[in-house]
Structure 1
Amino acid sequence: MLRSFGGVSLEPTLPTNGSLQARKAAALKAAGLRCVMGSLDSPDDAVFRRMNGMDFPVTDVLAGIEAALASGLGSVKVNMVVKRGTNNQKILQLARHFREQYGGSVTLRFIEYMDVSATKGWRMHEVPSSAEVIGQIAAGVAVRAIRRKRAGKTVQRRAYASGGGEIGVISSVTQAFRRIGL
């Protein structure tokens, strides 16, 4: 598996909706994969199903996370696309859950809701900014900024001040294509 390119270390990552991750995690690890990235837009099953447009439950994603960890994958990340009025009220709840359940084993990342197809009916007022997301989390749990590992990374990272992992935010709309040094 490709691990570097032009002297730059790479972390090949498999993005997945998580529906089959529980069944495939061990095989992916055996094939040399070190990082998997799933999606969990809400802990509420009805909201989750509505947002992902697929008919599989939250429990499939949670089972996939557990299987990825059990298989020994070195990095497990979970993305939550945040949409105002739909799931933004679950930000702190999900951050607390992942911190308490997984400690530093899983990184939860929040992505600003963005238009990925003409059928979504996207509106800018539905986009909570990354600053709002960080503010909601910081209101309930102390976090501190983490410096970027290398230039070009799109995620702004925050560590829990008392330890036990980190979160990330991706400003896909409010700061699209802008490099932010932390």
Structure 2
Amino acid sequence: MAKQLEDRFRRRFYYLRLSVTDVCNFKCTYCLPDGYQPSGRKNSSFLSLPEIERVVRAFVECGTSKVRITGGEPSLRKDFTDIIHTVASTPGVEKVAVTTNGYRMANHVERWLQAGLTHINVSVDSLDPRMFHQITGQNRFNDVMAGIERALEIGGCQVKVNAVLMKGLNGQELPQFLHWVKDRPVQLRFIELMQTGEMDELFSQHHIAGTDIRAQLLRNGWVPKVRERTDGPAQVFVHPDYCGSVGLIMPYEKGFCQDCNRLRVSALGKLHLCLFGEQGVELRDLMQQDDQQDQLIERISRALDNKAETHFLHDGNTGITPHLASIGG
């Protein structure tokens, strides 16, 4: 194995978030309120299967054991099942996850699991079909929920449900979400609304602090769970009376970045050291041939010298990220 990926702050990176498209068919209020807008870039085809195989192999050779396939909406790719199989077949990959809006799950999740998927995160911002429609721009609540129930029925994978609670919209739905996981082995993940370049006004109107949600959980008997090495940034809470659990992603809390263990590669082949970073590091030119692996690993390793100790969200600096779909959230 090549040298473990490690930055100047002794953080090690076991977790790769790999975007395979920035296209999405939903119009979520906090991400793509006007829907997907093609950029007009020339030569902007998304990563091919051989390129995906090579970049995943490079990360795994440096100690990465968890790969999350993201978008946009990754299941929009016609070769999505093949992508899962390619990632899962890479020796050293222990967890293969996907983040999806869930609209294709009911019909396809069995094939995804057979291809090697082990973890599924589904975005469900409301359990009220009308509010779901208002936030996502799509009247697909029943389809998405059917997909989740199908995944639970099949079993063999961990299911998480992502929700961004927003003041004036779905901000009062915490009790409904908790009731929903009382008898389901699902982890709810409440993601604090984050300020991005195109969302300043939305943030100021709708932001709910993750610390407020945590305080409610603690008052009601939820207790923290110990983190595992390849876990994402969520603080996870469990309750003896609930089958499900709750994860909180709170990027505005002090120390959020100190345990960072993940790197991102965009659908166009750029390495991003932070969701709120700068231009990214071009990797795609070194994904074309198998004999470029050593060079690819070296470029990734060198780039880590420039990874900052923290993001600068507290200062109102969101970097150049225009919206969360642009590099896979």
Report TM bin, short chain: 0.7 to 0.9
Aligned residues of 1:16 and 1:37 also touching (Cα < 8 A): yes
- Larger Cα-atom Rg: 2
- 2:149 aligned with 1:149: no
Question: 1:100-144: CA deviations, max 9, x gaps?
Answer: 3x1xx21111001124562684233522111111223344x4200
| Residue 239 of structure 2 is aligned to residue 160 of structure 1 | yes
Is it true that 1:66 corresponds to 2:146 in the alignment? no
Kindly indicate whether residue 214 of structure 2 is the aligned counterpart of residue 134 of structure 1: yes
Aligned to 1:50: 134
Q: Of 191, 215, 227, which residue of structure 2 is paired with 1:111?
A: 191
- TM-score, normalising length from structure 2? 0.48
- 1:120 and 1:24 mapped to 2: Cα distance? 36
Aligned residues: 176
Kindly indicate whether the alpha-carbon contact (under 8 Å) linking 2:160 and 2:189 is maintained by their aligned counterparts in 1.
yes
Q: Calculate the TM-score normalised by the size of structure 1.
A: 0.82
Q: Tell me if the contact between 1:92 and 1:137 (Cα under 8 Å) persists in the aligned partners.
A: no
Give distance in 2, aligned partners of 1:23 and 1:60.
Answer: 10
1:123 aligned counterpart, secondary structure:
helix
Runs of 4+ in 1 over 3 A off after TM superposition: 1-4, 6-9, 172-177
What amino acid is aligned across from residue 46 of structure 1 in structure 2?
A: R
Q: CA deviation at 1:96?
A: 1.8
Which segment is superposed worse, 30-39 or 117-126? 117-126
The offset of 1:150, in angstroms, is 2.0
Amino acid at match of 1:17: N
* Contact kept in structure 2, 1:142 and 1:162, CA below 8 Å: no
Cα distance between partner residues in 2 of 1:39 and 1:128: 18
- State the match for 2:203 in structure 1: 123
Give the 3 Å change call, closer, same or farther, for CA 56–45 of structure 1 in structure 2.
same
Distance 2:257 2:236 in 1: 15
Per the TM alignment, residue 95 of structure 1 is displaced from its structure 2 partner at its CA by 1.4
2:181 counterpart SS class: helix
Give structure 2 stretches of 5+ with no counterpart.
Answer: 1-52, 67-94, 260-329
Closer/same/farther in 2, CA of residues 125 and 40 from structure 1, 3 Å limit: same
Matched, 1:171 2:262: no
The structure that is strand-richer by fraction is 1
The answer for unaligned runs of 5 or more in structure 1 is none
For 2:115, the equivalent position in structure 1 comes to 31
CA offsets 1:126-173 (integer angstroms, 9 cap, x no match): 22111111223344x420011211277311010114452311000134
Output the aligned Cα RMSD. Answer: 2.8
SS in 2 for 1:99: coil
Change (3 A) 1:151 1:107: closer
- What percentage of residue pairs aligned between the two structures are identical? 28
The answer to which structure, 1 or 2, has the higher relative contact order (CA under 8 A, 6+ apart) is 2
**Distance between the aligned counterparts of 2:118 and 2:231, measured in 1?**
21
> 1:83 maps to which residue?
166
